[in-house]
Structure 1
Amino acid sequence: MTTWFITGTSTGFGRLLTEQLLARGDRVAATLRRPEQLDDLRARYGDQLWVARLDVTDGAEVRAVVDRAFAELGTIDVVVNNAGYGVFASVEEASDEQIERVVDTNLLGSIRVVRAALPHLRAQGAGRIVQVSTAGGQTTYPNFSYYHASKWGIEGFAQTLAAEVAPFGITVTIVEPGATPTGFGAGLDRAPVMDAYDSTPAGDVRRAVADGALPLPNDPAKLTAAIIAHVDSGSTALRLPLGSDTWQDVRASLVARLDEHDAAKDVAYSVVATD
């Protein structure tokens, strides 16, 4: 039996992951801001499910909950950073409060959980950290600039983390889901629209979202099962792209960046000091 610690388990991937793991007999430490949202699972699974209130923007609460989970459950094999928040707005439209919440939740919140868990994982001499990112951790879409800022940031953090903790027997996986009908889009925060952006790519994407024209090609249950299978396999691959859109969009972004990078070789080498 594997023990998992998961943030953001009220809805979406966090809830699905919790359900699938419990159904197969694993033990789950599920954290969320409103614990009563898991009352149905607690009634069904009893002590197999450990539940705690957790707001990842509260550093003291993160440390206390993580410490308590390890103390009460003993070994925790997998720590999943899944809690997230998104704002759908152009760069100018978003408020300071929205920007701060995106960064505090998606970037700093994930970092807080990792830092709280690391002493315990090092003491165990083993463990895996699963960082839920997105295709938008390596590519970009209009109206998601601040979400991208948090996800590109957490991917850089997680990649550095993987190198640092490998000697302790700890592995890191960055999961990059594509567009999936989990309710995340409906839960996106929004800002007052500026007419100046109506005829720009930001306006085009806003209309497509409003019209339901953006495809959601991925199956949330299959995607969640793929995360579990990846952990079970023992794979040490750093990134796990999930979804046809993720694979295509990220590959196109990487190829374009590499082409641009290669084209800059001469100017890059032109600034090297010479004797």
Structure 2
Amino acid sequence: MAARTWLITGVNSGFGREITEQLLARGDRVVGTVRDTARVQDLTDKHPDAFHAEILDVTDTPAIHTVVDHAFATHGRIDVVVSNAGYGLFGAAEELTDAQIDHIIATNLTGSIQLIRSALPHLRAQGGGRIIQISSHGGQVALPGNSLYHATKWGIEGFAESVAQEVAGFGIGVTIVEPGGARTEFRYGSAQVAELMDVYDDTPAHAFRAMLDPAGGLAPGDPARMAARIIASVETEPAPLRIVLGTQALDATLRTLRTRIENFETQCDLAASTDYPPGE
């Protein structure tokens, strides 16, 4: 198998870091974006010819275009683009500030959209490639206390699914990755929490506090195994549109989708009642 070149956002921690380490260990090349290169200096030192760190804040759209253009120009071909940068924001909808809402949308949703848009002309020009969008099973399942995170993940999944259909004819595959809970900094380090209001104590909106507390039990997902499955997905043709990682994630997704279908199926008469009668 020939070595590939990957462009991955947010490689300082979590899935981005784990994917990068596994790729470098097997001989692939990685252009990894971070906001502080000191966080990945060890990778630069260990893999000076295979790892290239680029400073990027994905809320800065012009900077996204610059970094993507430079990566393709420098390396000649990028085989896989991984849109990974993002974070979680917890709290009831009215507990969140306007600034918190704007920032998570700019990071998780707009940043991912602009990264993919920036890469598409290059991928078309080189005759194909693969886009991997890191989402969450929270892109299918909604829980209380996580409304804005769900808004960004449901949004990016709709975008990616549409783009997959637009670019398949150019040899570009798109895969949405929906991991469940994993033992990464996403849950036990980088997650942001709103200024909580007492009125939501002992309600479902604050149930997330138990999930974020390692004393209550660690998440079941193994980041290394999940990263390996994400990497392996690139070998599958055609590109799988979605892959769900973790039994809890798959169980929750299936329950949610089955309930959603059951609810829709009760609406057949209602839906038909709003059409023009046949022949009119």
Q: Does TM, scored on the shorter chain, surpass 0.5?
A: yes
Tell me what 1:103 maps to.
Answer: 105
Superposed CA offset, 1:1-49 (max 9, x none): 1110000000000000100000000000111111121111111111111
| 1:172-191 correspondence to structure 2 within 5 Å | 172-185=174-187, 186-191=189-194
Number of aligned residues: 275
Of the three residues 26, 31, 36, the one matched with 1:29 is 31
Could you tell me the percent identity over the aligned residues? 48
Amino acid in structure 1 at the alignment position of 2:191: L
Secondary structure of residue in 2 paired with 1:184: helix
CA–CA distance in 2 between the matches of 1:271 and 1:214? Answer: 50
Q: Which runs of 5+ in 1 are unaligned?
A: none
Contact 1:127 / 1:169 at 8 angstroms: preserved in 2?
yes
CA–CA distance in 2 between the matches of 1:52 and 1:206? Answer: 34
Of the three residues 66, 69, 75, the one matched with 1:67 is 69
Of the three residues 236, 242, 245, the one matched with 2:245 is 242
Superposed CA offset, 1:130-183 (max 9, x none): 000000000011211000000000000000000000011100000001000101
Of the three residues 152, 155, 175, the one matched with 1:153 is 155
Amino acid in structure 1 at the alignment position of 2:200: Y
CA–CA distance in 2 between the matches of 1:242 and 1:11? Answer: 18
| Structure 1 residue 107 displacement after superposition | 0.5
Tell me what 1:140 maps to.
Answer: 142
| 1:3-14 correspondence to structure 2 within 5 Å | 3-14=5-16
Secondary structure of residue in 1 paired with 2:205: helix
TM-score, normalising length: structure 1 = 0.97
Amino acid in structure 2 at the alignment position of 1:209: L
CA–CA distance in 2 between the matches of 1:252 and 1:268? Answer: 24
Q: Which runs of 5+ in 2 are unaligned?
A: none
Secondary structure of residue in 1 paired with 2:216: coil
Instruction: Summarize the Cα distance change of 1:145–1:125 in structure 2 as closer, same or farther, 3 Å threshold.
Output: same
CA–CA distance in 2 between the matches of 1:187 and 1:269? Answer: 47
Tell me what 1:209 maps to.
Answer: 212
Tell me what 2:233 maps to.
Answer: 230
Contact 1:5 / 1:28 at 8 angstroms: preserved in 2?
yes
Q: CA RMSD in A?
A: 1.2
Instruction: Summarize the Cα distance change of 1:214–1:263 in structure 2 as closer, same or farther, 3 Å threshold.
Output: farther
Of the three residues 32, 45, 48, the one matched with 1:46 is 48
| Structure 1 residue 125 displacement after superposition | 1.1
Is 1:251 aligned with 2:246? no
CA–CA distance in 1 between the matches of 2:214 and 2:131? Answer: 37
| Structure 1 residue 215 displacement after superposition | 4.8
Amino acid in structure 1 at the alignment position of 2:253: V
Contact 1:7 / 1:31 at 8 angstroms: preserved in 2?
yes
Contact 2:233 / 2:239 at 8 angstroms: preserved in 1?
no
Superposed CA offset, 1:79-113 (max 9, x none): 00000022111111011111111110010000110
Superposed CA offset, 1:220-242 (max 9, x none): 10000011111123342200100
Instruction: Summarize the Cα distance change of 1:99–1:214 in structure 2 as closer, same or farther, 3 Å threshold.
Output: farther
Amino acid in structure 2 at the alignment position of 1:205: F
Instruction: Summarize the Cα distance change of 1:207–1:25 in structure 2 as closer, same or farther, 3 Å threshold.
Output: closer
Contact 1:85 / 1:101 at 8 angstroms: preserved in 2?
no
TM-score, normalising length: structure 2 = 0.95
Instruction: Summarize the Cα distance change of 1:127–1:248 in structure 2 as closer, same or farther, 3 Å threshold.
Output: same
Of the three residues 171, 192, 195, the one matched with 1:192 is 195
